[in-house]
Chains A and B, each alone.
Chain A
Amino acid sequence: MGFHMFEPCTDVACNNIFAWLNQGPLTLTIVLHTILILPMFWIYFSEKKKLGK
């Protein structure tokens, strides 16, 4: 059993990005949390900059 970060889509409908993101270890949960949390770092540092002024 090989380990693949991106698996070919085996779902019934593969014509949307969420079906693809839901395959393999790169699950939808990880993707969604990443896109939610990464911009929060930017919000954090921009607020820190403002407070410093």
Chain B
Amino acid sequence: MAKNNASVWTSIRFWRRSAAWVTGVAVVLLIFLTFDTMSQIRMGTDKELEQGIKRRIPAPTVINHHIDYKYDEKRGMEVPVIGKKEPFFGKEWSPKEARALLHLGKLTVQAKNCMDCHTLLGNGAYYAPDLTKAWLDPMWEKTMPAMTGKKTKEEAMAEFLMHPGQYRTHARAMPNLKITPKEAMGVVAFLKHMSSIDTNGFPRGFSKVIKEGKTGGTYAK
């Protein structure tokens, strides 16, 4: 029998079968990943929050809890830690109230176009500070409540949002967007909830930037 020197590499059948295999696997994988992602980015329920079941996006009632941000040695990144209950604007919000407040906050953030200057969960601009973890910025612990004459972090944030021109902290001043007191509460709730979202360490090195970044720049030292 004569030796057949025809190469497999020039065989159309080989390439067709390979392409069918790769495409088929990719289709199955992408369908699986779509459903997997959908379940992972679903907002958690109030029951899960009460039972301490970790979700990437906790229920709106997370605004009734203290939120911390700690470096996780194993994951090599900072992760939100949902702590004990604390009053938010002086009260505990029911699941329905919390959801409504968060919704108002989201609508306000969209209507006032915060992303024109700020970044939220990776979307937006870097003209003004990244707001993804704004709630955790230590500036709101003492400096801003003292500056605005308010007792709590949330009240100081709401006051700043309503009258940003009066409390200038950066050369780039925030314009007055005519935010109403109720809308300001919503925005603060929205920001508090956002800080509790597990963003896989985004923005990278947040605590380090806050500690070392005296000028507020993303990579300032």
Instruction: Name A residues whose Cβ lies closer than 8 Å to a Cβ of B.
Output: 10-13, 16, 18, 32, 35-36, 39-40, 43-44, 47-48, 50-52
* A43–B25 CB distance below 8 A: no
Which residues of chain B from 156 to 205 have a CB within 8 Å of any chain A CB?
198
* B54–A12 CB distance below 8 A: yes
* A43–B54 CB distance below 8 A: no
Chain A residues within an 8 Å CB radius of B55: 12
Q: Answer whether A12 and B25 are a contact pair too, CB < 8 Å, given A18-B33, A47-B14, A52-B4.
A: no
Chain B residues within an 8 Å CB radius of A52: 4
* A51–B21 CB distance below 8 A: no
Q: In this assembly, does B214 line the interface, its C-beta being within 8 Å of a C-beta of chain A?
A: no
Closest 4 pairs (CB-CB, A-B): A10-B74, A47-B14, A51-B6, A48-B8
Choice from A10, A13, A48 contacting B40 with Cβ under 8 Å? A13
Q: Please list 16 pairs of residues, one from A and one from B, whose beta carbons are closer than 8 Å in the complex, sorted by A's number.
A: A10-B72, A10-B74, A10-B75, A12-B54, A13-B56, A16-B36, A18-B36, A36-B21, A39-B21, A43-B17, A43-B21, A47-B8, A47-B13, A47-B17, A50-B13, A51-B8
Chain B residues within an 8 Å CB radius of A39: 21
Interface of B is mostly: helix
For B11, the closest partner residue in chain A by CB is: A47
Q: In this assembly, does B29 line the interface, its C-beta being within 8 Å of a C-beta of chain A?
A: yes
Residue among B14, B25, B29 having the largest count of chain A Cβ atoms under 10 Å = B14
* Apart from A18-B33, A51-B6, A51-B8, 13 more pairs, CB < 8 Å: A11-B75, A12-B54, A12-B56, A12-B198, A18-B36, A35-B25, A43-B17, A44-B8, A44-B14, A47-B14, A48-B8, A50-B13, A51-B4
